[in-house]
Amino acid sequence: MRIQNKPDRGSPTDACEAGKSCRHRCSAKPFATVTLQFILVAGLIGVAFPATAQDAASVVATSANLSAALPASEWARVESSVDEGLKWLASQQAEDGRFPSEEVAQPAVTSLAIMAFLSRGHLPDKGPYGPQISRAIDFVLSTQRRRGYFSLQPVLPPVGHLKPSQTVIYNHSIAGLMLGEVYGMGSGERSQRIEEALHRALVFHREVQSRTKAKDSDQGGWRYGYPESPDAASDMSVTGWALMFLRSARNAEFNVPKQYFDEGLDFVELCYEPDPSEHEKGIFRYRPHASQDNPQITLANTASATLTLILGGRQDHASIPVSVRWFRTRNYPSPWQNNYYYLATYYSSQAMAQVGGETWEQIFPQIAAGLLAEQTDAGAWPLGGSNERRFGSTYSTSLAVLALTPAYGLLPIYQR
């Protein structure tokens, strides 16, 4: 198989290789027909990307030989694990198309489940899981509200912990990200509904981003549904998802001005903590120092920010080599060591795949070993700790699958 050079980050590809989930209106083969051999062949050939002077000086590898992280026998175990996870996930789907979780986390959890299937090459209306993926997409579309946001539950002030007013932008951004990924995979009435929904969603998305913030350092980011202007705020956790929605939409050829990305990425850079004495748990804060004294530095924030900056073309920011060193100078944590293990592991795996090279080869085997050890005999991953526990095993299983599948390269949002 010929592996062509990829376009610059942020540009939608205009030629679809076999096995790539395609957002354009063409007929790409689902990965269900492309097995482990594809990964191994890609690893032997190497996938080259255009290099620049900045790339040469950065820690981000200029080629994506992701298969080198594991021997063939271990990739076979990963592949089997993913397939068992998806089989279990499919068995959990409700009649209305959702993948069960707390209602306050919908449609985000259903959207993560859809992306888990896509990451293994399963497509809407095609193959063994096609009808289930399509029903899940329809459920997500049904949750869009009059103002354009996605939320199963109505969103009312004031903001409260794990209330719709707090989770709405998570739900909205993750649903928008998923719809950007599936846009163009089908045709007809559903495709038209997705297009209309994304247009409305992007209007709301920009409205939230451009709200007047109480702190100048929060400009350009996203946070909760309330408060609105002039007392709005931003944080790294929400902004990471929000920027990935924008990238997915722009890749799907929706009109997303560069200004929106620049403002969001500027906020992410402000969340970098340059003081090494604060780097025990990571290097990125929950909010900028000028917005909040308590740093709340976590693995999830660090991995999310690293991924977001690289996807946004800012791999030469001063934080990136610091982040890579931070990851490489410690063992990847076990589930009991991290309250948001599944979320952090999803972000970490995707971020390290973007870094590539020796960093990926060091970190991914640890991630894979940890996840495979946790998987139950039924194929699911157990409940997470702390707040993750509330979202159920559909949430943990979806994120585990997404963390195990970067080497397949089938989600357009994460294609280098």
Model confidence pLDDT, tens digit, residues 270-281: 999 999 999 999
Model confidence at 116, pLDDT cuts 50, 70, 90, reads very high
392, pLDDT greater than 70: yes
Model confidence at 355, pLDDT cuts 50, 70, 90, reads very high
Model confidence at 10, pLDDT cuts 50, 70, 90, reads very low
228, pLDDT greater than 70: yes
Q: What residue spans of 256-413 are helical by DSSP H?
A: 258-270, 299-311, 319-328, 341-355, 357-374, 392-404
Model confidence at 259, pLDDT cuts 50, 70, 90, reads very high
Strand ranges, E, within 81-201: none
Q: Cα-flanking dihedrals φ and ψ of residue 63, to 5°?
A: -135, 155
Determine the average pLDDT of the residues in 313-338.
Answer: 94
30, pLDDT greater than 70: no
The least confident of 28-32, 109-113, 360-364, 376-380 is 28-32
Q: Which amino acid, 28? A: A
What is the C-alpha separation between 256 and 414, in angstroms, rounded?
18
pLDDT digits (tens, 9 = 90+) for 395-413: 999 999 999 999 999 999 9
Interacting residues of 321 by C-beta distance below 8 A, sequence separation 6+: 58, 59
3-state secondary structure of 241: helix
Model confidence at 9, pLDDT cuts 50, 70, 90, reads very low
Interacting residues of 111 by C-beta distance below 8 A, sequence separation 6+: 140, 174, 175, 177, 178, 179
What is the C-alpha separation between 160 and 172, in angstroms, rounded?
17
pLDDT digits (tens, 9 = 90+) for 153-187: 999 999 999 999 999 999 999 999 999 999 989 77
What is the C-alpha separation between 232 and 215, in angstroms, rounded?
8
Please report the DSSP string for 167-203 in residue order: HHHHHHHHHHHHHHHHTTSS-SHHHHHHHHHHHHHHH
Note every long-range contact of 9-18, with CB atoms under 8 Å and residues 24 or more positions apart, other chains counting.
Answer: 9/310, 9/311, 9/312, 9/313, 9/416, 10/247, 10/250, 10/251, 10/261, 10/311, 10/312, 10/313, 11/251, 12/250, 12/251, 12/252, 12/253, 12/412, 13/412, 13/415
Q: Residue 301 in contact with residue 237, Cβ under 8 Å? A: yes
Average pLDDT, the chain: 88
Instruction: Say what the pLDDT of residue 7 is.
Output: 31
14, pLDDT greater than 90: no
Q: Residue 43 in contact with residue 1, Cβ under 8 Å? A: no
Model confidence at 356, pLDDT cuts 50, 70, 90, reads very high
Instruction: Say what the pLDDT of residue 188 is.
Output: 86
151, pLDDT greater than 80: yes
- Output Rg (C-alpha) for the chain, integer angstroms: 20
The pTM of the whole model exceeds 0.95: no
391, pLDDT greater than 50: yes
Instruction: Say what the pLDDT of residue 331 is.
Output: 96
Instruction: Say what the pLDDT of residue 129 is.
Output: 98
DSSP code of 94?
Answer: -
Instruction: Say what the pLDDT of residue 239 is.
Output: 98
Percent of the chain having pLDDT more than 70?
86
31, pLDDT greater than 90: no
235, pLDDT greater than 70: yes
147, pLDDT greater than 70: yes
Model confidence at 415, pLDDT cuts 50, 70, 90, reads confident
